Amino acid sequence: MYIRVTSTPKSPRKSVKVVESIREGFKVKQVMIHHVGIASTDAEIDKLKQLGLEFIAHEQLRREKASGQLSLFPDETPQERLQAIQKSPSKKRGRKPLTRLADLADDEMIAIKNLVEEQRVVDGLHDIGGHVFSQLGYDQILSGKKDTELLRDIILMRIANPGSKFKAQRILANRFAHTHDLDAIYRMMDKLFPKIDAVKTKTFNRAQQLIPETIDILFFDCTTLYFESTDTDDLRRFGYSKDHRFNTTQVVLALATNSDGLPLGYELFEGNKAEVGTLLACLESWKKQFNIGSVCFVADRAMMSETNLSALEAAGHQYVVAAKLRVMSDELKADILSDKHYHATLLADELAWTGEFSYKNRRLIVSYKNSRARRDAVQREQVVNKIKKTLGSAGNTQKLITNNGVKKFTKTEETRTILDETKIAADMAWDGLHGVVTNIQDKSHAEILGRYARLWKIEESFRLNKHTLSMRPIFHFKTERIHTHIAICYMAFAVLRHMEYVVNLTQKVSPQFILEELMEVQSSILKDTATGKHYRMPGRFSHTASKIYKAFNIIKDRQIKAIITK
């Protein structure tokens, strides 16, 4: 039993009660034993608390007597029990209350009328993101303490408010109370450049330590990152742009993750590097940097080439790579389109049809899904409608001359371009079909296709990097700064993914949701205008935020504290 004081919304009055914790199954609830009274002032509350303690003393003695159990003090009076309770109070239950101004020593007493809020600062991102930053070993990359703090802050700003280094400096000062010189940021970047290999190694090692059993599967993909520039050099080149920015230079980024989306490695290539050639280059680089054993590479059809597959086999690796079904031999395509080679298979709770074929002494596994067929039909219909609108009645060929996506459904007769119904019908035959090539011999169709289905995680990783972290466009122009910018974005991505992984062990939420909650964990910086002293007062701490902190075993300091300035 213990005393509980509760308040009523929009009322200054407070109720004082004696409550008791009762366990029902796996749950514990509080039951009111006695309502002591209602008070309006602190003095009245103290009197009611005293009455409540007297009730507890009487009630404890009554229960002990009714139970018939032997007592060490059989003649103990209620007054003696009350004195014992007051000398040795039971452990306080519930959350530790915020420090009250009344609890401060006399020499620390503050007049509320003298307090003004100077700044509202965000605590949550540094509490959790800074913790993960250290877990990843990034606090050991640079030697100086100031450079390490600056690196941490720039990484966290890439997560919270991605943008230029000037923007990061301004937001750090205004919203996080962390001030840095802009030149110091660029000097830190120059110091980070020779440490990029250490960044990659620590990121890989942390993923291996966290879930070592999952490094047997590696998901691989590439994307392009453009510059707001047309100047070229050894790294910045014109090439095929996935962002449809053919008038700017770019670089090619190759990224590898595990099945949970935790980053394992990355490499940066010149902008005109063909995707199909990046896999072998990455494999050679990662062999030197990491202790990679035999793993299974999972990649999309851009990586499918005889050179890549043969190299993976020679290195002792397994692979599951999307197949280019429509460029197979005519005989094999005829077999793929024949119903007799398929049987029903359950793929992720969806009924599908799968068939197996031989492709250059490798397994070619093809699946058909009704949902995929409907999606393919809708996408083709959208393209056909666009063609009809573009052609109009005149059959304007010039509008289609550079668009291969729509030209595949048209044909030209003399000076007119028209829809080709034969091509459309041929395309319909492939609706719902998708294939993968693998050298894994001891796994079922469902297991092989299940591995490939996880490739969406790395595609989501690129969306996080491009949009949430704004990795591109890139405004740096020195090769060393470009590499360092990508490394910082990669570190921010690793921090975000590891935050997501740990939180998702207890609750399934998105990285964006985690960020939103952490950005709401704030404190007020208060100034006593009479003394000039500053105090930090924590703000609202939501239940969801507390669960995020608990996932990392971090206890949030909820006390009002004086800020000591050096």
- Secondary structure (DSSP) of 117-163: EEEEEE-HHHHHHHHHHHHTTGGGTSSSHHHHHHHHHHHHHHHHS-S
How many Å apart are CA 13 and CA 404, to the nearest integer? 75
What residues have CB less than 8 Å from 165, skipping those under 6 apart? 154, 182, 185, 186, 189
Question: Is 154 within a domain?
Answer: no
As a whole-number percent, the residues of the chain with pLDDT over 70 amount to 82
How many Å apart are CA 524 and CA 26, to the nearest integer? 38
Highest mean pLDDT among 73-77, 194-198, 211-215, 274-278: 194-198
Domain ends where: 58, 76, 94?
94
The predicted pLDDT at position 97 comes to 54
How many Å apart are CA 441 and CA 69, to the nearest integer? 71
Across 495-505, average pLDDT: 92
How many Å apart are CA 437 and CA 359, to the nearest integer? 8
pLDDT confidence band for 73 (50 / 70 / 90) = low
The answer to whether residues 395 and 416 touch, using CB atoms and an 8 Å cutoff, is yes
Per-residue pLDDT tens over the stretch 82-91: 777 776 655 5
Per-residue pLDDT tens over the stretch 367-415: 999 999 999 999 999 988 888 887 765 555 555 545 555 678 888 877 7
| Omega cis (within 30) before 473 | yes
Per-residue pLDDT tens over the stretch 82-124: 777 776 655 555 555 555 555 555 556 677 888 899 899 999 9
Question: Is 454 within a domain?
Answer: no
CB atoms within 10 A of CB 350: 11
Tell me the pLDDT of the chain averaged across its residues. 83
Across 308-312, average pLDDT: 88
The predicted pLDDT at position 259 comes to 82
Question: Is 498 within a domain?
Answer: no
E strand residue ranges, 388-533: 410-413, 416-419, 433-438, 522-528
The predicted pLDDT at position 237 comes to 64
The predicted pLDDT at position 234 comes to 57
Question: Is 23 within a domain?
Answer: yes
143-146 CB contacts, 8 Å cutoff, 24+ apart: 146/184
Question: Is 63 within a domain?
Answer: yes
CB atoms within 10 A of CB 260: 16
The answer to whether residues 138 and 491 touch, using CB atoms and an 8 Å cutoff, is yes
The predicted pLDDT at position 247 comes to 67
Domain ends where: 70, 94, 118?
94
Question: Is 489 within a domain?
Answer: no
Q: φ, ψ for residue 429 (rounded to 5)?
A: -65, -25
Q: For the chain, what is the domain count? A: 2
The predicted pLDDT at position 470 comes to 62
**HSE toward the beta carbon, residue 281, CA cutoff 13 A:** 18
Distances (CA, A) of 174 to 522, 533, 539: 13, 20, 17
Higher per-residue confidence, 235 vs 257:
257
How many Å apart are CA 149 and CA 131, to the nearest integer? 12
How many Å apart are CA 157 and CA 178, to the nearest integer? 11
Residue 279 has pLDDT above 90, yes or no: no
- DSSP designation for 237: B
Per-residue pLDDT tens over the stretch 423-454: 999 999 999 999 999 999 999 999 999 999 88
Question: Is 503 within a domain?
Answer: no
Question: Is 85 within a domain?
Answer: yes
Residue 138 has pLDDT above 70, yes or no: yes
- Retrieve residue 191's tokens: 């110091």
What residues have CB less than 8 Å from 324, skipping those under 6 apart? 301, 304
Residue 3 parent element (H or E): strand 2-7
What's the domain range around 421?
371-428
Per-residue pLDDT tens over the stretch 146-179: 999 999 999 999 898 888 888 889 999 999 989 9
Q: pTM above 0.85?
A: no
How many Å apart are CA 233 and CA 17, to the nearest integer? 76
Domain ends where: 94, 116, 144?
94
Give the range among 134-138, 251-255, 272-276, 429-433 with minimum mean pLDDT.
Answer: 272-276
Question: Considering just the CA atoms, what is the radius of gyration of the chain in Å?
Answer: 33
